[in-house]
Structure formats: structure tokens, C-alpha cells
Amino acid sequence: MRNIPSFLLLLSLLTAQAQSNEVDITIDTLAQNTYMLTGSGGNIGIYVGKEKVYMIDDQFAPLSNKIKAIITTLTDKPISYLVNTHMHGDHTGGNPNFNTSQTVLVAQQNVRKRLKINGAEKVSANEMDEQDYEKLLPEITFSDDLTFYDGEETVMLFHVHNAHTDGDSMIYFVNENVLHMGDTYFSGRYPYIDLNSGGSINGYINAHKKALLVIDSETKIIPGHGRPSNKSELENYVKILEDIKQIIQDEISAGKSLAEVKNNNGLTSKYDDQYGTGFISPERIREIVYVSLTSPIKD
């Protein structure tokens, strides 16, 4: 349970930020019809197709009206499909507000399973009403892959196993050449890996390798958090994670304890200035990798 308190703290900080009126939603245009929206919480992807609009993730509920207003500047068509990259509240909090009769909510099956458990807990604690609970849940789920066709565009959803959680999907817009990686990529900073929800360092690195097989040097990447990225940055990022994993594995093999590894600033110092100033500190990344390498995956 070691990871829960700081993550809950992070989520409550982000929620508090989302509730303030000071959050601005900004747009990055990544391809002809594909956009990244940034506000508070996970980055949103919008694809305006010939017939249909696709939305990837929806941040926190208090931001929904602002997000809807921004989307109307991109298209007057309704959102046909809303995809959740995974179950965390900074990516799914807006589900009840966006899940209208015009919109179909899609996610990997473990996202529904976890949202169901978390949502039911909120209902019994009177933090969510029954109606929002039903609209929170994905209506179509898949196990490994799902493909959508829209005119010239092909939209591929593919599941990566035990990466950031046990329900992560990436979404690749083939002709637009844009990949939304959800929280399997924290561009420019150390990643959060939710070990209590089925995440693991090995799955995280494997997710990057799968993404690298799909994309090319022109691909625009929407990370779950951070600025838009590309293949060479992702290649560099996976090298760093592999190096950190090896450094921690060597410490484990040498019999070092979690506390020793957590407190040994020298282990990751060559990367800390660049990657360790976000919400996952150098100490936290060493802890996450150590715990992941020494414990079975939790589901």
C-alpha cells in the first residue's frame, strides 16, 4: 500500500487545482485533424473525423464545461467515441459529463472493472450519485485490440499489459500519425507506475517498446502528462528507464534494502535534474522500481 498516500495526495491536489477557475484549457494542433488539450490532469486527445469525433480521456469533472467549450471551437459535431486510456481519476473524472446518448464510452476491460469498484465505493460514501456512477462506466470494452474506421482514417486501440496499471491502452491514429500513450508515457519526467493497480516497471518498458514498433520519426506522441513528444525522445526515455532498472536491480542483487536504495541519491543523480523535478521525485522513482522488481504484480 506504500504508493497510495502520495498518489492520493497528488490526485487531491490536482482536483483542487481543477476546481479553481484558474485552469485554462490550451490546444496543440498535432496533425490536420488531431489536437491535444491541456488543462489539469491527463492530456486529452481530440480527432475530428469525416463523420465522427473521437475523444481520448476527459480530465476532472469540474473542468468538463470548459473542455466542451474548447472542443466547440474545433468542431460542431458531437463526440461519438470517448476512450479512456486507463482508470485514474485525472483521465476519467469527466466521464459522467461526456457520456451522453450520443457518445459511446470505450476502454480496456480492466478499466471498467476498476471504475466499477471505485465508483461503487464512492456511491456508498455518498460521494457520487447512482446516475453518475452508471455514466462513469465504459459501455464497450475489449481485451487486447479494437480498431475503428472513419473515412480514410484507421484508429487502433491496443492494450499494453501491466504497465502504468493493468488496463492501459494506446490509441494510434494511423493517417494522422498521432499516438496517444496515456500514462504509459510521462514526457520529460519520471513516470508514476501504479503498482497497486497492476502496474510494473517491466510492463512499462515493454509498453514503450511496443509503441516504438508502431511509430516512425514523424509520429506525434501525446503523453499522459507533459508536452507533445516524438520517437527519438521516447527512445531516449526508454533507455533511461532501462538504465535505472538495471542500476536498481544491481543494488537488489547486492542485497541492498529498500531504504538503502531510496536514500542513495547517487544512484539516479545523472538523470535527476532533468527528470526528477515533477511529482515523482528521484527518491520515489527508486522506490517504485525497487518495489516493482521485488514484488509480484498485484491484480
Query: Minimum distance from CB of 239 to Zn ion (Å)?
Result: 23
Phi, psi values for residue 167, rounded to 5°: -130, 25
Which range, of 8-16, 82-90, 151-159, 208-216, touches Zn ion by CB under 5 A? 82-90
Does the protein bind Zn ion through residue 183 (CB under 5 A)?
A: yes
Residue 88 or 114 with smaller CB distance to Zn ion: 88
Query: Minimum distance from CB of 87 to Zn ion (Å)?
Result: 8
The residue ranges of DSSP E strands in 39-124, in sequence order, are 44-48, 53-56, 79-83, 104-108
Give the one residue of 40, 59, 71, 88 binding Zn ion; rule: CB under 5 A: 88
The residue ranges of DSSP E strands in 89-238, in sequence order, are 104-108, 140-142, 145-150, 153-159, 169-173, 178-180, 220-222
- The dihedral built from the CA positions of residue 111, 112, 117 and 122, taken in this order, carries a sign that is positive
- Alpha-carbon distance of 159 to 107, in angstroms, equals 9
Does the protein bind Zn ion through residue 168 (CB under 5 A)?
A: no
Residue 66 or 88 with smaller CB distance to Zn ion: 88
- Alpha-carbon distance of 37 to 79, in angstroms, equals 15
What is the grid cell recorded at 73? 471551437
Which range, of 50-58, 178-186, 257-265, 270-278, touches Zn ion by CB under 5 A? 178-186
Residue 49 or 199 with smaller CB distance to Zn ion: 199
- Alpha-carbon distance of 174 to 152, in angstroms, equals 9
- Alpha-carbon distance of 150 to 46, in angstroms, equals 14
Query: Minimum distance from CB of 255 to Zn ion (Å)?
Result: 33
Residue 88 or 189 with smaller CB distance to Zn ion: 88
Q: Provide the 3-class DSSP secondary structure of residue 119.
A: helix
Q: Provide the 3-class DSSP secondary structure of residue 179.
A: strand
Residue 88 or 159 with smaller CB distance to Zn ion: 88
Query: Minimum distance from CB of 220 to Zn ion (Å)?
Result: 21
Query: Minimum distance from CB of 216 to Zn ion (Å)?
Result: 26
Residue 194 or 287 with smaller CB distance to Zn ion: 194
Residue 183 or 251 with smaller CB distance to Zn ion: 183
Does the protein bind Zn ion through residue 114 (CB under 5 A)?
A: no
Query: Minimum distance from CB of 182 to Zn ion (Å)?
Result: 7
Residue 33 or 59 with smaller CB distance to Zn ion: 59
Contact in structure between 59 and 35 (CB atoms under 8 Å) = no
- Alpha-carbon distance of 156 to 158, in angstroms, equals 6
Contact in structure between 34 and 63 (CB atoms under 8 Å) = no
Inter-CA distances, 275 with 56, 155, 199, 281, Å? 25, 31, 20, 8
- Alpha-carbon distance of 216 to 158, in angstroms, equals 17
Which range, of 7-15, 105-113, 176-184, 240-248, touches Zn ion by CB under 5 A? 176-184
Which range, of 69-77, 87-95, 151-159, 288-296, touches Zn ion by CB under 5 A? 87-95
Query: Minimum distance from CB of 88 to Zn ion (Å)?
Result: 3
Query: Minimum distance from CB of 253 to Zn ion (Å)?
Result: 30
Contacts with Zn ion, residue ranges (CB under 5 A):
88, 183
